[in-house]
């Protein structure tokens, strides 16, 4: 695992995957005098209903349509059945049906005691993910992301093993927890750490050959460096104005002394109510793109109720990433698009997909995600997450590998390298998968000079902040933050959304620049970035409360992060995808 940081969890969704009606017809070559009706291959499926009261009616539909009900599955309010491909389509469109998924076969796994899972056969392991996309081919060619910084706008990164070998530094903390020294920069929610581990996790620095030979825990681009910008608090709450401020900071400080931010990972999105041409969040990512930063954004996890991509994935310049289910096989021929994944429309759909189900990443002990989803833990270090958030982190790692190989490549060229030769699969429509599953081997063989230059209508950002929030709002004293106000109560003005020193939108927030001497886990501050005294844009702080508002960052409420739930094999939310 898109509006107030409700978008972060949006990317994280659990749920069964959709079985596309893709089995072909077997036409028998019968003698002329004995023509036969073509036989239709049957599908073994699991049908899950929204509640148990609907099971009998849907079972009756299966029988009336020539299918066979095989076994009751009360735990998912459903049953297994053998049905025709046409009936799969009918069932998916039937009221009360949550999902129709393949009843797949499995295999025994040899659990690595050091990890707690089988690194080669568990489809959620990063080793398995890399194999499906041929990521190791980049490592064998010497490309591990070295020298490339990936900005991660999320809930911060925790100092857990796998992210403590020197390739994580802290940017400004723009979250509601920034006033507290014990949690400043740290991930108290659990989402940012999961993303960072997928992008650049490693237990120790090594050589490309060592990474290739290892079956240990290793992210997509283990030598890339994460620049963490924390915007989400312990419950995942954040306003879209904080996310925009973080994007603005990345765009302006990407190449400060000691920094080389080439990629921005945004596993976040909102259900914006306005056109991407007007939307201020869309405007922010487009400005970062025009400044040379490859922006990788999650498509969103509201696929069961919404076709349109989340904001800002709807911006046509950025790389909009959808999730796919590899079905426990390295090849893409049987891959599916999970029901939770937003796909888009004919006008704007996902650009590519990457594995996004049951992904194993590092957990943050006692974080919100960890406490609320104990069944998702694997071994002592990991937790599973399903969603377009994870798929986005995978593609951000790939972008870092290509940025290392082609240091002068433009964002348009990196996007083309990723999308031009992706691997399409037959069981999903093209608008559901874009050009298909990312194939790093094919990307490495392309010449960026052949990439076309993107040319879309420029975004103005002159829409409303409230429209960008969509249905995601943080609460202050129980009152939703709405309208054209940022978290400080300042009137929103797109003309003031450029950082000037530590000022953004007329308010002093945080640092003025990058100071390599203080960037790191031991002294994670920015030159001039510590909040001055107890004041935050003129609002005084007393202890752990916001003056006159009685606000405690540890219990800041958000009606947009409590989404669906983090379950045994994933977590879901309407904003963090």
Q: Which residues contact 64 (CB under 8 A, 6 or more apart)?
A: none
Active site positions, annotated: 154, 191, 389
Burial of 203: CB neighbours in 10 Å, binned 0-12, 13-18, 19+: middle
Cα end-to-end span (Å), the chain:
6
Tokens of 45: 């499926």
Residue pair 268/2 in contact (Cβ under 8 Å)? The answer is yes
CA distance 335 to 123: 12
Helix (H) or strand (E) holding 430: helix 430-433
Residue pair 381/162 in contact (Cβ under 8 Å)? The answer is yes
Neighbours of 405 (CB within 10 A): 18
Tokens of 183: 């949690």
Beta-bridged to residue 266, according to DSSP, are 297
Residue pair 201/165 in contact (Cβ under 8 Å)? The answer is no
Q: Cis omega before residue 312 (within 30°)? A: yes
- Name the 3-class secondary structure at 536: strand
Task: Report the Cα 92 to chain-centroid distance in Å.
Answer: 25
Burial of 121: CB neighbours in 10 Å, binned 0-12, 13-18, 19+: middle
Write the Ramachandran bin of 328: left for phi over 0, alpha for psi from -120 to 50, otherwise beta.
left
Q: Which residues contact 50 (CB under 8 A, 6 or more apart)?
A: 77, 96, 97, 98
Beta-bridged to residue 338, according to DSSP, are 17
CA distance 75 to 98: 13
Smallest CA-to-CA distance from 170 within 515, 577, 554 is with 515
The number of residues making up the chain comes to 577
CA distance 28 to 82: 22
Give, as one character, the DSSP assignment of residue 458.
Answer: P
Cα distances from 535 to residues 178, 232, 320, 481, 539, in angstroms, run 12, 20, 38, 21, 5
CA distance 103 to 98: 15
Phi then psi for residue 79, to 5 deg, are -160, 165
């Amino acid at each position: 695992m898109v509006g107030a940081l409700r978008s972060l969890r949006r990317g994280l969704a659990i749920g069964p995957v959709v079985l596309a009606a893709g089995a072909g017809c077997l036409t028998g070559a019968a003698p002329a005098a004995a023509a036969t009706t073509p036989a239709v291959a049957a599908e073994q499926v699991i049908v899950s209903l929204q509640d148990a009261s609907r099971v009998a009616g849907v079972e009756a539909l299966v029988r009336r349509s020539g299918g066979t009900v095989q076994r009751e599955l009360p735990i998912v309010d459903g049953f297994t059945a053998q049905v025709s491909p046409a009936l799969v389509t009918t069932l998916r469109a039937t009221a009360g049906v949550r999902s129709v998924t393949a009843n797949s076969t499995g295999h025994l796994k040899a659990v690595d005691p050091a990890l707690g899972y089988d690194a080669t056969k568990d489809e959620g392991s990063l080793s398995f993910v890399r194999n499906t996309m041929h990521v190791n081919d980049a490592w064998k060619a010497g490309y591990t992301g070295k020298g490339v910084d990936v900005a991660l706008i999320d809930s911060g990164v925790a100092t857990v093993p796998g992210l403590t070998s020197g390739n994580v530094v802290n940017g400004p903390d723009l979250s509601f927890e920034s006033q507290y020294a014990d949690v400043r920069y740290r991930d108290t929610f659990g989402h940012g750490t999961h993303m960072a581990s997928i992008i650049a996790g490693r237990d120790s620095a090594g050589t490309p050959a060592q990474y290739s030979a290892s079956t240990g825990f290793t992210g997509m681009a283990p030598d890339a460096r994460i620049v963490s910008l924390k915007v989400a608090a312990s419950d995942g709450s954040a306003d879209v104005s904080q996310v925009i401020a973080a994007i603005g900071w990345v765009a302006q400080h990407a190449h400060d002394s000691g920094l080389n931010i080439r990629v921005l990972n945004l596993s976040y999105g909102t259900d914006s109510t306005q056109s991407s041409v007007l939307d201020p969040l869309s405007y922010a990512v487009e400005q970062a793109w025009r400044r040379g930063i490859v922006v990788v954004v999650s498509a969103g996890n509201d696929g069961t109720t919404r076709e349109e991509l989340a904001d800002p994935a709807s911006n046509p310049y950025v790389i909009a990433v959808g999730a796919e289910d590899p079905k426990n096989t390295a090849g893409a021929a049987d891959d599916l698009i999970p029901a939770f994944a937003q796909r888009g429309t004919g006008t704007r759909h996902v650009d590519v997909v990457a594995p996004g189900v049951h992904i194993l990443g590092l957990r943050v002990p006692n974080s919100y995600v960890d406490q609320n989803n104990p069944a998702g833990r694997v071994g002592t270090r990991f937790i599973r997450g399903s969603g377009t958030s994870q798929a986005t982190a995978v593609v951000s790692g790939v972008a870092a590998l290509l940025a290392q190989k082609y240091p002068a490549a433009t964002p348009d060229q990196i996007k083309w390298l990723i999308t031009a030769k992706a691997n399409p699969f037959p069981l999903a429509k093209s608008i559901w998968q874009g050009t298909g599953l990312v194939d790093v081997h094919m990307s490495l063989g392309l010449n960026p000079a052949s990439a076309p230059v993107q040319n879309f209508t420029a975004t103005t950002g002159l829409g409303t902040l409230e429209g960008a929030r969509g249905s995601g709002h943080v609460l202050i004293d129980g009152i939703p933050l709405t309208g054209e106000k940022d978290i400080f109560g300042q009137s929103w003005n797109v003309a003031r959304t450029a950082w000037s020193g530590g000022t953004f939108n007329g308010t002093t927030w945080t640092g003025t620049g990058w100071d390599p001497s203080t960037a790191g886990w031991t002294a994670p501050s920015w030159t001039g970035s510590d909040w001055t005294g107890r004041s935050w844009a003129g609002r005084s702080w007393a202890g752990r409360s916001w003056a006159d508002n009685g606000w405690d960052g540890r219990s800041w409420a958000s009606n947009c992060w409590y989404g669906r739930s983090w379950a045994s094999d994933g977590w879901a939310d309407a904003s963090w995808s």
